[in-house]
Amino acid sequence: MSADTVCRTELDSENHGELADLVAAMNVAANTTLPNGNKSGDPSAARFSGRKMSLQERGSRIARQPTIETKRVSITDADDCVQLNQYKLKKEIGKGSYGVVKLAYNEDSEQYYAMKVVSKKRVMKQCGFLRRLPPQGSNAAFPLEKLYKEIAILKKLDHHNVVKLVEVLDDPDEDGLHMAFDLMTKGPVMDVPTDDPFTEEQARFYLRDIILGIEYLHYHKIIHRDIKPSNLLLGDDGHVKIADFGVSNEFEGTDALLSSTAGTPAFMAPEMMTQHEQRFSGKALDIWAMGVTLYCFVFGKCPFYEEYIISLHNKIKNEPVEFPETPLITKELKELIERMLDKHPETRITIPEIKLHAWVTESGSDPLPLEEEHCTAVEVTEEEVQNSVKLISSLSAMILVKSMLRKRSFSNPFECLVRRSERSMSAPGGLLTGSWGLLGSSAQLHPSLRKISKEGSRDELEDLYEDDTFTELTD
């Protein structure tokens, strides 16, 4: 299992509710025409059609079912599984900072999903609220209110290149918050580092997906803040979805002016690495991370890496991007990477400019759809925030809790069963000082890469339903 998702630096946890740790992907027919103008197919042997498609074809959307709103929930405990309404909850497929993830079979649709249980107590503790769980709607429960707002937003986001939340169930008197996501079985688009990087054609194919997904998020005034290969998950159609909104920010106006540090160090922009508090463009942060990701696609490694985090920061801030002699890339791709990794955010290339770049469009022969062709407005009302989850009975919730949550250590829930082990993408090599498996022991991370907040490092967490305080890891 990749450790990079738990290798984020968060210096302002109040601004970030870790919510969508789990990733999702729509199951789309193999030959469906998709919004970015490409034909679907196996990503390992993707076919890139030379046919030029009309804007109407490229902008066509696949109809998707809205997030399910369930008013009555029934939970029964069986020997081999837990029945949650139409879901049969089976084996554990992942763990997260706030809960566990179970494989869930929907008997109505005859499809598999991923069901995650989030500990509301853990969310409160991460924000400095200990012991008692305040009721929903109270001023003291603002971390949960932010969680519910994020849920309401995620339920409305509907784009082929962004994760889709299927259903949410909640019990106000108990700790577990249950979220169902479409199941991703193919995992991250790339493991970094790798000796088998993508060809330029493959990299272009995936970058076009990322561009449309990021444009959609920015259109809805959301800054992702943690774009990297492990947060780009492959669907069965060969296209990627942007996942993990745990450190994302909403904004008003034309751009977010951020001052807090969050994300994965090797993918952070240089303007974030200052000793003095200053505000910086949120959109420019996402574009920098996209540039690092594109570099990873074609070279199999990050453009900046060092053994120690301070040295890594210095490299990102002060050293130019170096391009290996092999593989040899075109001058158009090199120029695009350099513009995406411009150390000055005010002159860094923008999403509209990337969409028109010669390398992305193959010199204009394969343009991407216009913003209005794949972006639609989303507004979340206060009523929708309050109704973003459905309630389940306390007794039934306790049955589910006791059946699902028995382990004391929680790691990254993104990885699926096929991803048994990965290396850190926070900074290749030495910044990860231990090993990581899907359900194995937790990695011993370099201190500079551990997720931190106002409460400090909390890699080892107690049982979700115990009231004792956190146990700190020793180095």
- Reported as a single tens digit per residue, the pLDDT across 286-324 is 999 999 999 999 999 999 999 899 999 999 999 999 999
Local confidence band at 377 (pLDDT 50, 70, 90 cut-offs)? confident
Higher pLDDT residue, 378 or 253? 253
Spatial contact of 281 and 32, defined as CB atoms under 8 Å apart: no
Binding residues are 125
Which pLDDT score, from 0 to 100, does residue 123 have? 81
Which pLDDT score, from 0 to 100, does residue 195 have? 97
Same domain, 364 and 385: no
The tally of domains found in the chain comes to 2
Local confidence band at 390 (pLDDT 50, 70, 90 cut-offs)? low
Across the chain, what does the average pLDDT equal? Answer: 71
Binding residues for ATP are 125
Q: Could you say which of 21, 171, 191, 226 is catalytic?
A: 226
Report the distance separating Cα 29 and Cα 383, nearest Å: 36
Which pLDDT score, from 0 to 100, does residue 110 have? 93
H-helix or E-strand containing 359? helix 358-361
Same domain, 173 and 312: no
β-strand pairing of 232-234 with 240-242: antiparallel
Same domain, 170 and 89: yes
DSSP state of 465: T
Residue 300 within any structural domain of the chain = yes
β-strand pairing of 165-170 with 390-391: parallel
Q: Give the bridge partners for 102, in sequence order.
A: 92, 115
Which pLDDT score, from 0 to 100, does residue 385 have? 66
Higher pLDDT residue, 402 or 285? 285
Which pLDDT score, from 0 to 100, does residue 420 have? 37
Residue 37 within any structural domain of the chain = no
Distance, CA of 46 to chain centre:
24
Higher pLDDT residue, 445 or 117? 117
Distance, CA of 376 to chain centre:
21
Residue 391 has φ and ψ, to the nearest 5°, of -95, 150
Report the distance separating Cα 37 and Cα 59, nearest Å: 8
Same domain, 114 and 136: yes
Which of the residue ranges 36-40, 94-98, 122-126 would you say has the lowest mean pLDDT?
A: 36-40
CA distances from 200 to 206, 286, 328, 329, 334 (A): 10, 21, 10, 8, 11
Question: Cis peptide leading into 447, omega within 30 of 0?
Answer: no
**pLDDT cut 90: percent of the chain above it:** 35
Same domain, 225 and 245: yes
Which pLDDT score, from 0 to 100, does residue 162 have? 92
Same domain, 82 and 160: yes
Summarised one tens digit per residue, pLDDT across range 8-27 is: 444 343 344 444 444 333 33
Same domain, 13 and 54: no
Compute the radius of gyration of the chain from its Cα atoms.
21
pLDDT at residue 340 is higher than 90? yes
Which pLDDT score, from 0 to 100, does residue 384 have? 66
Cβ–Cβ contacts within 10 Å for residue 215, how many?
Answer: 22
Summarised one tens digit per residue, pLDDT across range 197-227 is: 999 999 999 999 999 999 999 999 999 999 9
Arithmetic mean of pLDDT, 56-60 = 42
Report the distance separating Cα 452 and Cα 457, nearest Å: 5
Same domain, 225 and 359: yes
pLDDT at residue 87 is higher than 70? yes
Same domain, 228 and 356: yes
pTM: 0.67
Which pLDDT score, from 0 to 100, does residue 112 have? 92
Spatial contact of 389 and 170, defined as CB atoms under 8 Å apart: yes
Residue 33 within any structural domain of the chain = no
CATH number at residue 58: 1.10.510.10
**pLDDT cut 70: percent of the chain above it:** 59
Catalytic, 209? Answer no
Residue 17 within any structural domain of the chain = yes
Which of the residue ranges 74-88, 149-163, 387-401 would you say has the lowest mean pLDDT?
A: 387-401
Going by C-alpha positions, the residue among 106, 100, 112 that lies closest to residue 24 is: 112
Which of the residue ranges 230-234, 240-244, 251-255, 445-449 would you say has the lowest mean pLDDT?
A: 445-449
Which pLDDT score, from 0 to 100, does residue 115 have? 86
Same domain, 204 and 311: yes
Which pLDDT score, from 0 to 100, does residue 416 have? 43
Same domain, 231 and 131: no
Q: Which domain holds residue 219?
A: 43-62+188-374
Higher pLDDT residue, 351 or 70? 351
Arithmetic mean of pLDDT, 48-74 = 47
Report the distance separating Cα 20 and Cα 292, nearest Å: 23
Summarised one tens digit per residue, pLDDT across range 106-152 is: 899 999 988 887 888 888 887 766 555 555 555 545 677 777 877 87
Integer distance in angstroms from the first to the last C-alpha of the chain? Answer: 21
Residues 6+ apart with CB under 8 A from 19: 118, 147, 150, 151, 154, 245, 246
User: Which tokens belong to 149?
Assistant: 């707002």
Which pLDDT score, from 0 to 100, does residue 76 have? 66
Report the distance separating Cα 447 and Cα 47, nearest Å: 43
Q: Tell me if residue 412 falls in helix, strand or coil.
A: coil
Q: What is the amino acid identity at position 331?
A: K
Same domain, 291 and 159: no
Which of the residue ranges 38-42, 154-158, 387-391 would you say has the lowest mean pLDDT?
A: 38-42
CA distances from 42 to 39, 47, 468 (A): 10, 8, 48
